[in-house]
Amino acid sequence: MRDYIIRRILLMIPTLFGALTLIFFIMNIFPGDVALMILGEETGQANPEDLARLRAQLGFDRPLYVQYLSWLWGVVKLDFGTSLWTGVPVFEEIWVRLPITLTLIVFSVFLSMILAIPIGIVAALKQDSWIDYGLRVFTISGLSIPSFWFGLMVVLFLLLVFNWFPPLTYAVIYTSPWIAIQQLMMPALVLGYRQAAVSARMMRSSMLEVLREDFVRTARAKGLKERIVIGCNSH
């Protein structure tokens, strides 16, 4: 197991390197000039001197391979440069948004587990019943529906039509916990639905395997109540 984990971690290095290389060259292949966008191409305010000065400042006047190596070394040092739109270092922009992102991730994982565990257990206990079929439709939908479309539907119906949640803003969870939970509920639901569907199907399959084991049949043959068999033996 340890060797497997080490191999997977080492495999991440060429994978990340390939992804970074691909992103860099794709961004350079796309048409458009960032300097023109910054100086206002549409308003006609850009002039050749300003463009040349800005390109030199951004490093666009250097050969492509030099830009690539400089950018790659910056990524290694966690120096992602400066945002072209805000003028703030990109690392600071990420650092400001990181607590919100981590909170949303934790909340979505927690919500997905709350949904997945009981759904998987009930679907296994009610195998091939209408309840099982209904829950399977729920999980297959979670795997099939695009997240962006599901997010739009959640906002449309839960927020605009039924008005079940307050308008989407951000509240700090340790100062206004209830408001923060309400604000996180919708995006966490959108992010957690697919994971809940995957986990519920895995939970159902695992539960069915355990229910077919000899020790479960023995417990039932001894006359133990079903809730004891499920609660004490099937975990």
| Residue 16 is assigned to a structural domain of this protein | yes
Q: How many residues does the chain have?
A: 235
- 8 Å CB contact between 121 and 203: yes
Q: Are residues 212 and 103 in the same domain?
A: yes
pLDDT of 70 higher than 70: yes
| Residue 86 is assigned to a structural domain of this protein | no
Q: Are residues 170 and 223 in the same domain?
A: yes
Cα distance from N-terminal residue to C-terminal residue, the chain: 23
Boundary-marking domain end, from 47, 81, 115: 81
pLDDT of residue 59: 78
Q: Are residues 7 and 121 in the same domain?
A: no
Q: Which amino acid is at 14?
A: P
Burial class (CB in 10 A: 0-12, 13-18, 19+), 155: middle
| Residue 46 is assigned to a structural domain of this protein | yes
Query: pLDDT digits over 166-188, tens only?
Result: 677 776 677 777 777 777 888 88
pLDDT of 134 higher than 60: yes
pLDDT of residue 127: 83
CB atoms within 10 A of CB 142: 23
Q: Are residues 137 and 201 in the same domain?
A: yes
Residue range 25-41: average pLDDT? 74
pLDDT of residue 12: 84
Structural domain total, the chain? 2
Q: Are residues 98 and 57 in the same domain?
A: no
Q: At what angle do helices 177-211 and 90-125 cross, to 10 degrees?
A: 40
Q: Are residues 19 and 99 in the same domain?
A: no
Q: Are residues 77 and 103 in the same domain?
A: no
CB atoms within 10 A of CB 189: 19
Q: In this predicted model, which residue has the larger pLDDT, 2 or 139?
A: 139
| Residue 87 is assigned to a structural domain of this protein | no
| Cα–Cα distance measured from residue 83 to residue 65, given in angstroms and rounded to the nearest whole number | 22
CB atoms within 10 A of CB 123: 26
Residue range 160-166: average pLDDT? 73
The answer to whether the pTM exceeds 0.85 is: no
Q: At what angle do helices 130-144 and 90-125 cross, to 10 degrees?
A: 160
Q: Which amino acid is at 49?
A: E
Boundary-marking domain end, from 25, 51, 81: 81
| Residue 157 is assigned to a structural domain of this protein | yes
pLDDT of 42 higher than 60: no
3-state secondary structure of 223: coil
| Cα–Cα distance measured from residue 14 to residue 207, given in angstroms and rounded to the nearest whole number | 38
Boundary-marking domain end, from 30, 47, 81: 81
Q: Are residues 147 and 217 in the same domain?
A: yes
Domain range for 23 is: 2-81
Q: Which amino acid is at 83?
A: S
DSSP label at 88? S
**Lowest mean pLDDT across 17-31, 73-87, 91-105, 218-232:** 218-232
Q: Are residues 49 and 119 in the same domain?
A: no
Confidence band, pLDDT 50/70/90 cuts, at residue 26:
confident
Q: Are residues 56 and 105 in the same domain?
A: no
- 8 Å CB contact between 214 and 233: no
pLDDT of 1 higher than 80: no
pLDDT of 118 higher than 70: yes
Confidence band, pLDDT 50/70/90 cuts, at residue 9:
confident
| Cα–Cα distance measured from residue 28 to residue 123, given in angstroms and rounded to the nearest whole number | 50
